[in-house]
Amino acid sequence: MQPVPARAGDPLDTIETPALCVDLDAFERNLDRMADATQGMRLRPHAKSHKCPDIARAQIARGAVGVCCQKTDEAAAFVAAGVRDVLVTNEVVAPRKIARLAALARDATIGVLVDSTDVVPVLSEAARAIGVTLDVYIEIDVGAHRCGVAPGAPAAGLARAVVAAPGLRFRGLQAYQGAAQHLRTPEERHAAIATAAEHARATRAAIVAAGIACDIVTGAGTGTYRLEQSSGAYDELQPGSYVFMDVDYGRNTLAADDVRFDQSLFVLSAVMSAPAPERVVVDAGLKAFSFDAGLPIVHGWPGLEYRKATDEHGILAVAGGASPPRLGEHVWLVPGHCDPTVNLYDWIVAFRGDTVEAVWPITARGALG
Amino acid sequence: MQPVPARAGDPLDTIETPALCVDLDAFERNLDRMADATQGMRLRPHAKSHKCPDIARAQIARGAVGVCCQKTDEAAAFVAAGVRDVLVTNEVVAPRKIARLAALARDATIGVLVDSTDVVPVLSEAARAIGVTLDVYIEIDVGAHRCGVAPGAPAAGLARAVVAAPGLRFRGLQAYQGAAQHLRTPEERHAAIATAAEHARATRAAIVAAGIACDIVTGAGTGTYRLEQSSGAYDELQPGSYVFMDVDYGRNTLAADDVRFDQSLFVLSAVMSAPAPERVVVDAGLKAFSFDAGLPIVHGWPGLEYRKATDEHGILAVAGGASPPRLGEHVWLVPGHCDPTVNLYDWIVAFRGDTVEAVWPITARGALG
């Protein structure tokens, strides 16, 4: 674990760079707006975005039923931190991982996805062996073509296997359309979620027709949660990135009635070299950002553009006439993709105005297992 | 820090996924080949590639004079692990970082780059304050247009300032052409390094003409080190990636007399979903690889291709007629870019044949400061 880049009470200009920072005013507005927007639904925010128990607690304090995680070890970090309801929105297959997952159910409600009958007896045996119950959701492929069984009859068949397995409690369906989150126009997103909702509805009907209760259809992300909500097919929403936002989400065109979330996440960098009038170099490169969704952008410095990264360097172009930052000066950058960028840091510096208010550990950083 | 994914003596098929793994036979061949190829030169491998003291020790045991690091906290990790000669191949500007860097010089020979006279008094004062000497190298821009002063007279002027500063020992020039490492043809790399070497030679001459000794010209990477070596302009070589290799280095066309390094670094993944004959999904996605240089490739499984990643999923296409891996089965993947991929993991599983031989901590993982 790396040293903390700041301490509560520090002025912003003393934060050690590069540092992952969150603007608490924007962050809290985002949490409040999502809580308001999802009134009447179960909100289970995705903790893969932040990996930070302090943030999970802030979400739960505003009414979230618990969190989603993506990996067993991520779930373990949140349960250890006191979160009492975690859904792993992923298939867990390896018997040792399943055993770890089942052990978490001693202290918390733990859900997990299945999309294959092969795993059902392994989950069942792991739960029975230690006398716990695991909640199981069947993942259906609602159009993203990643994991998931086909909607309708195949899902109903799998539900039957889960219901018959001791130690497992069939809870419902995971119907997440990941590929829809970054479709750029409201029309494209609307069409994708209309299809997803239709699959979810038909699958629930098939399961109920088989005499099995299907209580919870869960899914949705920051890009589409309003559509899942208004579809009537979903009971629970899983947005994650809304707490932070990023350059890539900023590229989505919003519909008139979409809630706007503010950019709260930044990487604070500093100029380490100012070798030419048209170029400065900051200390945040390929190890300070995930570049899968493109380059970071410079925040609040007109005429300055992040052009290229190497491992530990960010090369910024200075437009003609712009006044560049001096050697050592701070430059605020907005990550291209928040989730995998957060995963590069051990700490989030939470600030309000000009002052650091807290430094939160990113407890589940690197939790791949 | 995450749990270890394996223990010494474990068979490969019990490693928990995803795991960063190194094939020790290939790794040791790479270390031996580089040691052989650079006989007569100072070899100072770049530790930013591996961030792992166990690997630094293996390099030093084969004759390396020490290591390069890219950040102050990275250097701190290697000094704490017993490495006694570290060159930070980067400008360090923030006074608090400079104070930390100077403190390392109590236990090790510490070098650092400068490309601005502004930093010279800060380095000098930090060294004097605690009674140590810092080695200083002037970084010149030899064509990569990242950091560095212009070759020739500007560098000589900066050398004068360093020589005049108490607590600092002027050692020579950093003349690294980072942009040349991945030029695809030998001819392009040859032309880029010929220019770099000419700048290095002219700058050394300008400094010597000013009455200042310029003992060490250092630079080079895995893509070009033979060219710096044969140029006669360099005294010390800094390759890093050769220990591991990656998909991107694999795209370089080698010259007839280039040494071939073997792929030793892998990410071991496992199939978490096999939802369709043409698709399997593994548990290694955007948080298991850096995608800045493109997608990982599948190792040793004809007909299987890594097509797309989301945060924790890798989607693999199965060619018609190919036999796909089963649910839970391991799939070996070669990272697109080794350095920032290694930075995502806490451990490297070192194996030989079918058996884990050691699990090394990636001590400087996340050392951005």
User: Within this chain, do residues A144 and A237 fall inside the same structural domain, yes or no?
Assistant: yes
Phi, psi of A57, deg, nearest 5: -65, -40
In a domain, B205, yes or no: yes
Given B193, B221, B245, the domain boundary residue is B245
Q: A159 and A42 in one domain?
A: yes
In sequence order, the 6+-apart residues with CB closer than 8 A to the CB of B242 are B30, B33, B34, B45, B222, B261
Contact residues, B window 216-235, toward A, CB-based 8 Å cutoff? none
Q: Specify the pLDDT at position B9.
A: 98
Determine the pLDDT at residue A74.
Answer: 98
Give the position of tokens 């220990």.
B243
How much is the mean pLDDT over chain B? 98
Structure tokens belonging to residue B252:
């370089």
- Work out the minimum CA distance from A12 to partner chain B, whole angstroms: 14
DSSP string of B151-187?
Answer: TTHHHHHHHHHHHTSTTEEEEEEE---GGGTT-SSHH
Residue B60: its H or E element: helix B53-61
Residue B26 lies in a domain: no
Give A25 to chain B, closest Cα distance, Å: 26
pLDDT, average across residues A162-171: 98
Check residue B171 and give its pLDDT: 98
Residues from chain B contacting residue A344 (CB–CB below 8 Å)? 343-344, 366, 368
Classified as helix, coil or strand, B262 is coil
pLDDT tens readout for residues B215-258: 999 999 999 999 999 999 999 999 999 999 999 999 999 999 99
Instruction: Please give the tally of structural domains in chain A.
Output: 2
Residue A155 and residue A44 share a domain: yes
Condensed to tens digits (0 to 9), the pLDDT of residues B254-264 reads 999 999 999 99
Percent of chain B at pLDDT exceeding 70: 100
Which pLDDT score, from 0 to 100, does residue B280 have?
A: 98
Residue B49 maps to a domain: yes
CA distance linking residue A346 with residue A365, whole number of Å: 7
Rounded average pLDDT over B59-68: 98
Same domain? For B146 and B181 the reply is: yes
Q: Which residues contact A254 (CB under 8 A, 6 or more apart)?
A: A186, A260
pTM: 0.97
Q: Quote the CA–CA distance of A102 and A39 in Å, as a whole number.
A: 31
Q: Give residue B52's pLDDT band: very low, low, confident or very high (50, 70, 90).
A: very high
Say if residues A72 and A100 touch (Cβ distance below 8 Å): yes
Q: How confident is the model at residue A204, as a pLDDT?
A: 98
Per residue in A323-340, pLDDT (tens digit) is 999 999 999 999 999 999
Same domain, B323 and B192: no
Same domain, yes or no, for A134 and A276? no
Cα torsion at A310, A311, A317, A323 (round to 10°)?
-160
Query: How far is the C-alpha of B166 from the C-alpha of B124, rounded, in Å?
Result: 6
Structural domain includes residue B366:
no
Q: Name the token pair of B334.
A: 């070669």
Note the pLDDT of residue A1. 85
Quote the tokens at residue A146: 């990643």
**Helix, strand, coil percent values for chain B (each to nearest 5):** 30, 25, 45
For the segment B183-195, the average pLDDT, to the nearest whole number, is 98
How confident is the model over A96-121, as pLDDT tens digits?
999 999 999 999 999 999 999 999 99
Residues A307-321 as b or e (16 or more Cβ within 10 Å = b): ebbbbbbbbbbbeee
| Whether residue A134 sits in one domain with residue A80 | yes
CB burial class (10 A; 0-12, 13-18, 19+) of residue B76?
buried
Question: What mean pLDDT is predicted for residues A285-303?
Answer: 98
**Chain B CA closest to residue A316:** B146
Is A33 within the bounds of a domain? Answer: no
Between the alpha carbon of residue A276 and those of residues A273, A321, B37, the distances in Å are 9, 14, 36
Do the domain assignments include residue A31? Answer: no
Rounded distance between C-alpha atoms, residue B342 and residue B363, angstroms: 11
If you average pLDDT over residues B197-223, what whole number do you get? 98
Among A245, A280, A298, the domain boundary falls at A245
Count CA atoms within 13 Å of residue A364 on its CB side.
31
Angle at B241 between CA B238 and CA B242, to 5 degrees: 90
The residue out of B245, B279, B296 marking a domain boundary is B245
Contacts of A278 in chain B (CB under 8 A): none
Interface touch A18/B369, C-beta < 8 Å: yes
Instruction: State how far the Cα of B9 lies from the Cα of A355, in Å rounded to an integer.
Output: 51
> Which of B98, B272, B295, B348 is best to mutate for the A interface (most A CBs within 10 A)?
B272
Nearest C-alpha neighbor of A123 from the set A105, A139, A141: A105
pLDDT in tens, B270-315: 999 999 999 999 999 999 999 999 999 999 999 999 999 999 999 9
| A51 touching B (Cβ < 8 Å) | no
Q: Quick check: is A256 in a domain?
A: no
User: In Å, how far are A172, A265, A304 from A299, measured between CA atoms?
Assistant: 42, 11, 9
Best interface-test mutation with B: which of A13, A89, A272 has the largest number of B CBs within 10 A? A272
B179 and B68 within one domain: yes
Which of A71, A281, A367 is opposite residue B147, by nearest beta carbon? Answer: A281
Q: What single letter denotes the amino acid at residue A32?
A: D
d(CA B200, CA B212): 15
How far apart are the C-alpha atoms of B302 and A157, rounded to whole Å? Answer: 33
CA distances from B284 to A330, B58, B206, B219, B310 (A): 34, 29, 52, 34, 9
* Single-letter amino acid, residue B11: P
| A323 in a structural domain | yes
CA distance B315 to B307: 6
Q: CB count, 10 Å around CB of A304?
A: 22
Indicate if A266 and A226 belong to the same structural domain.
Answer: no
Q: Do B16 and A94 touch (CB under 8 A)?
A: yes
Residue carrying structure tokens 């030419």: A276
Identify the pLDDT of residue A260: 97
Q: Over 90: is that where the pLDDT of A230 sits?
A: yes
What's the DSSP call for residue A41? S
3-state secondary structure of B322: coil
| CATH code of the domain containing A321 | 2.40.37.20
Please write the tens of the pLDDT for every residue from A339-366.
999 999 999 999 999 999 999 999 999 9
| CATH classification at residue B182 | 3.20.20.10
Cα nearest neighbour of A48 on chain B: B311
Question: What pLDDT is recorded for position B1?
Answer: 85
Please say if the pLDDT value at position A52 is more than 90.
Answer: yes
Q: Look up residue A48 and give its two tokens.
A: 């893969």
Separation CA A103–CA B30 (nearest Å): 43
Range A34-63 average pLDDT: 98
B239 plus B279 within the same structural domain = no
**Looking at beta carbons, which residues of chain A come within 8 Å of B146?**
273, 275, 281, 310, 313, 315
What distance in Å separates residue A211's CA from the closest CA in chain B? 25
Same domain, B293 and B186: no
Same domain, B114 and B230: yes
Question: Residue A164 belongs to what domain range?
Answer: 38-245
Which A-chain residues 3-32 have CB contacts (< 8 A) with chain B?
A: 3, 5, 16-18
Residue B209 pLDDT more than 90? yes
On whether the CB atoms of residues A185 and A165 are closer than 8 A, the answer is no
Summarised one tens digit per residue, pLDDT across range A305-317 is 999 999 999 999 9
Q: What angle do CA B164, B46, A305 make, to 5 degrees?
A: 80
